[in-house]
Amino acid sequence: MAEKLYEELKSPSRILLGPGPSNIYPRVQQAMLQPVVGYLDPYILGILEDTASMLRAVFGTSNQLTLAISGTGTAGMDASFCNFVEPGDVVVVGVNGLFGDRMADAARRCGAEVVPVEAEWGRIIEPAAIEATLKKHKKVKLLSLVHAETSTGVLQPLEEASYLARQHDALFLVDAVTSLGGQKMAIDERGIDICYSCSQKCLGCLSGLSPFTAGERALAALQKRSRKVQSFYLDLSLISSYWTGSHAYHHTASCIMIYALHEALAVLMDEGLDKSFERHQRHGDALKAGLESMGLKLHAQEGHRLSMLTSVQVPEGIDDVRIRNRLLHEFGIEIGGGLGPLKSRIWRIGLMGGSSTAENVLLLLSALEKSLSREGFQTEPGAGVAAALKSLSGAEVRP
């Protein structure tokens, strides 16, 4: 037998507690082992219908145009701008982190006149600042905000922004990449016109699809375009024709990825949306309590902190990368570092989807305490775990 040129892949087992991806559910892993069928096979078309129906439930919408774009959350972002923005349109973008900055970049690439509403990385975009900007600039086509800013751990309020967008006849676009499945979205209730997300975070799937929804106001704007959407691949009128109605060919969608998202959504439906939201909140609260009891400082603005992703300041004199490497190589735990101006200044700890468990909270706090103590950071032994357990008391501690 000829010698193998390359060894069979044997990837390490990690506990993924960074900003994404999260550990996928076992049912998702099993679904990916199912036989491949053609992208127009009656079986996969039925799966598409079920997947769209479950996505409507998770988004909290009755929007007909609800589907999953083939690509990561970045594809959802690009689709949002290239379909609804044309050259010369005025677009107001909330920028309080890396992903708000990327939205502004995407809008500029579509030829928009971008008006940023900026805030410190770690604080929300205040509604008063949004209102002042909308009043100052006439004929704003679109207002866009990041719901859960992954780079800072901030949860952006949406209700007032939605009201202001309608008051100024602007479309309201929301990035829900980190929040979908772990935080109530209520698209219809909040009056959000366009929303995109990803598959690999709170949905407990793997990266590769971007859940997306758009309402009637957005579709009306799409129909009034003066020119074709510049991206053939991300043209929503073409993508939607595959997901609904005639199921016309647009691109060769991955049935394995669709299986995976379908199963992840089924897991979420079986758990119940409210229970998922509560689970993410419970574990996020326990983690924060543990970190603060260890003498660490949380970074995001108090009262606006994400449940599924916690940003914590790196203590003075502590090597950010060395701690993260120790967690990875000694404990098999991945957490994220800071981005942009927060590089080496914060850690980003995710508890999303299948990774959001009480066991992971306690394991991370214990491993972090041991890692920090070896760097000379003094904390009361077991204080973090004790505080987390107290926070979890009265609730079922799930493995």
Question: All domains of the chain, ordered by start, with CATH?
Answer: 26-269 (3.40.640.10), 272-392 (3.90.1150.10)
Q: How far apart are the first and last CA of the chain?
A: 45
Residue burial 201-237, b: 16+ Cβ < 10 Å; e: rest: bbbbbbbbbbbbbbbebbbebbeeeeeebebebbbbe
pTM (2 decimals)?
Answer: 0.95
Residues 23/267, Cβ–Cβ less than 8 Å: no
CB within 8 Å of 333: residues ≥ 6 apart: 14, 15, 17, 327, 363, 364, 367
* 348 within 8 A of 150, measured Cβ to Cβ: yes
Per-residue pLDDT band for 394 (boundaries 50, 70, 90) equals low
- The Cβ of residue 14 has, within 10 Å, a number of other Cβ atoms equal to 14
What percent of the chain stands above pLDDT 90? 95
Length of the chain: 399
DSSP-based three-state secondary structure for 153 = coil
Contact 188, 162 (CB under 8 A): no
Residue 399 has pLDDT above 60, yes or no: no
Distance of CA 92 to the CA centre of its chain: 21
Confidence of residue 45 (pLDDT cuts 50, 70, 90): very high
Confidence of residue 397 (pLDDT cuts 50, 70, 90): very low
User: Does the pLDDT of residue 2 top 80, yes or no?
Assistant: no
pLDDT in tens, 274-317: 999 999 999 999 999 999 999 999 999 999 999 999 999 999 99
Question: What would you report as the CA-atom Rg of the chain, rounded to the nearest whole angstrom?
Answer: 22
How large is the average pLDDT for residues 43-69?
97
pLDDT of residue 396: 45
**Which residues in 143-165 are b (16+ Cβ under 10 Å) and which e?**
bbbbbbbbbbbbbbebeebbebb
Look over the chain and give the mean of its residue pLDDT values, rounded to a whole number: 96
Within a 10 A sphere around the Cβ of 74, how many other Cβ atoms? 15
List the one residue out of 253, 71, 318 whose CA is nearest residue 177: 71
pLDDT for position 1 = 62
Question: What is the spatial distance between Cα 193 and Cα 196, in angstroms, rounded to a whole number?
Answer: 11
| DSSP letter string, 283-336 | HHHHHHHHHHHTT--B-SPTT-B-SSEEEEEPPTT--HHHHHHHHHHHH-EE-E
- The residues near 27 (Cβ < 8 Å, ≥ 6 apart) are 263, 264, 266, 267
Name the helix (H) or strand (E) containing 114.
strand 113-118
Secondary element (H or E) of residue 251: none
Cα angle value 345/309/91 (rounded, 5°): 85
What is residue 104's three-state secondary structure? helix
Structure confidence by residue, pLDDT tens digits, 180-208: 999 999 999 999 999 999 999 999 999 99
Q: What is the pLDDT of residue 398?
A: 40
The span from the CA of 323 to the CA of 28, in Å, is 31
**Which amino acid belongs to residue 333?**
I
pLDDT tens digits along 219-253: 999 999 999 999 999 999 999 999 987 899 999 99
* 17-31 mean pLDDT: 97
d(CA 93, CA 115): 6
